[in-house]
């Protein structure tokens, strides 16, 4: 059965090649293990593989260019060499360093996912303009080491929207084609639980910027805290118990217009989004016949 939904969307599978990411740090630090996992993510339905060699979890310490390249390049090269699906799957490099982005693009990446929205390295925008690669610009308050230290906004949605609009304008004026840019509100990056929920509730206001909106709620701490509160537990629940919350937030985000979903559990989220899209679209295709409800 083929389902046709109300909107098109893509799943971005997370591939952390780090020892300290909050969810799966160390699990795929070995390049061969990472490449195997990349194949698993694609088999589950990932259309983008987001490969990162530097953790951006709260409190994370910076990584040198050399260490980041040492972690990601063997994985990028191995993934890019997968001729059976490399023409249908985009490779994304999760980095804020121009040198890493340049090397990753040379190795086969076609998206740069920059959590600093081109503020971390002045040379990054030139790399994007010259290469013609796609990019994702994300909102983050401060930097990973400090972003969760009492984040404050007058109106989080208005401020995130203004920031993303300004960074989009900056990129375009520097030679990046607007149609190459995706925007990410940065759920969990310098936001409280209330800020995250407000952003999810009003995502349609960010969609109005006219660029594909990326949402990354997968397994994040605010989900763990909400689930713990419902269960009467004092500490955020373990990562393994955050899948239902991840699915719920992605379903809400799709309904509000998001179109790219950055997740660890691709198969589970894919199924939930398929049902959501079919429901919103009120149509589906079964054995070549379109039916409406």
Mean pLDDT of all residues in 230-255: 96
* pLDDT tens by residue, 116-175: 999 999 999 999 999 999 999 999 987 766 666 778 899 999 999 999 999 999 999 999
Helices 193-201 and 221-231 meet at what angle, rounded to 10? 100
Measured distance CA(231)–CA(163) in Å, rounded? 36
Cβ neighbours of residue 169 under 8 Å, at least 6 residues apart? Answer: none
- Say if residues 124 and 98 touch (Cβ distance below 8 Å): yes
Q: Is the pLDDT of residue 5 over 90?
A: no
Tokens of 244: 């239902």
Where residue 4 falls among pLDDT bands split at 50, 70, 90?
Answer: very low
Q: Is the pLDDT of residue 251 over 90?
A: yes
Tokens of 264: 């660890």
Q: State residue 55's pLDDT score.
A: 82
In the block, tokens 């061969």 appear at 32
Q: Is the pLDDT of residue 94 over 90?
A: yes
Q: State residue 23's pLDDT score.
A: 56
Over its C-alpha atoms, the chain yields an Rg (Å, rounded) of 18
Measured distance CA(274)–CA(276) in Å, rounded? 5
Where residue 292 falls among pLDDT bands split at 50, 70, 90?
Answer: very low
DSSP state of 241: G
Q: Write down how long the chain is.
A: 293
Q: State residue 20's pLDDT score.
A: 53
- Say if residues 288 and 20 touch (Cβ distance below 8 Å): no
Q: Is the pLDDT of residue 101 over 70?
A: yes
Task: State pTM to two decimals.
Answer: 0.90
The gap from C-alpha 135 to its chain's centroid, in whole angstroms, comes to 11
CATH architecture label of 10-286: Alpha-Beta Barrel (3.20)
Where residue 26 falls among pLDDT bands split at 50, 70, 90?
Answer: low
Measured distance CA(290)–CA(293) in Å, rounded? 10
Lowest-confidence range among 68-72, 87-91, 176-180? Answer: 87-91
Q: State residue 1's pLDDT score.
A: 32
Q: State residue 146's pLDDT score.
A: 65
Q: State residue 2's pLDDT score.
A: 37
Averaged pLDDT of the chain: 89
Q: State residue 56's pLDDT score.
A: 79
* pLDDT tens by residue, 264-282: 999 999 999 999 999 988 5
Measured distance CA(252)–CA(258) in Å, rounded? 9
Where residue 256 falls among pLDDT bands split at 50, 70, 90?
Answer: very high
Q: Is the pLDDT of residue 254 over 70?
A: yes
Measured distance CA(254)–CA(203) in Å, rounded? 9
pLDDT top residue among 120 and 285: 120
* pLDDT tens by residue, 165-216: 999 999 999 999 999 999 999 999 999 999 999 999 999 999 999 999 999 9
Q: Show the beta-strand stretches assigned E in the chain.
A: 10-16, 48-52, 90-94, 111-114, 134-138, 181-184, 214-215, 260-263, 283-286, 289-292
Catalytic residues, which ones? 220, 262
Measured distance CA(269)–CA(246) in Å, rounded? 8
Element (H, E) at 172: helix 156-173
Beta bridge partners of 134: 111
Angle at 158 between CA 154 and CA 164, to 5 degrees: 125
- DSSP string of 184-203? E--TTSS--HHHHHHHHHTH
């Amino acid at each position: 059965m083929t389902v046709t939904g109300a909107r098109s969307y893509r799943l971005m599978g997370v591939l952390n090649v780090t020892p300290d990411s909050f969810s799966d740090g160390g699990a795929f630090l070995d390049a061969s293990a990472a490449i195997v996992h990349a194949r698993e993510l694609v088999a589950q339905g990932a259309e983008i593989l987001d490969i990162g060699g530097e953790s951006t979890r709260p409190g994370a310490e910076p990584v040198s260019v050399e260490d980041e390249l040492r972690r990601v390049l063997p994985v990028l090269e191995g993934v890019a060499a997968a001729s059976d699906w490399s023409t249908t799957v985009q490779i994304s490099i999760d980095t804020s360093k121009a040198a890493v982005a340049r090397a990753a693009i040379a190795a086969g990446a076609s998206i740069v996912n920059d959590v600093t929205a081109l503020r971390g390295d002045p040379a990054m925008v030139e790399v994007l303009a010259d290469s013609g690669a796609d990019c994702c610009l994300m909102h983050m308050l401060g930097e990973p080491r400090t972003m969760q230290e009492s984040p404050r906004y007058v109106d989080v949605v208005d401020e995130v929207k203004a920031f993303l609009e300004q960074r989009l304008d900056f990129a375009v004026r520097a030679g990046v084609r607007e149609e190459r840019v995706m925007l990410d509100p940065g759920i969990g990056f310098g936001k409280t639980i209330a800020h995250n929920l407000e952003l999810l509730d009003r995502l349609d206001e960010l969609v109005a910027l006219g660029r594909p909106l990326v949402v990354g709620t997968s397994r994040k701490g605010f989900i763990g805290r909400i689930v713990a509160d419902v269960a009467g537990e004092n500490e955020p629940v373990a990562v393994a118990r955050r899948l239902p919350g991840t699915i719920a937030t992605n379903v809400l985000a799709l309904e509000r217009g998001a179109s790219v979903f950055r997740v660890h559990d691709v198969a589970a989220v894919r199924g939930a989004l398929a049902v959501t899209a079919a429901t919103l679209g009120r149509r589906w295709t079964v054995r070549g016949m379109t039916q409406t409800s």
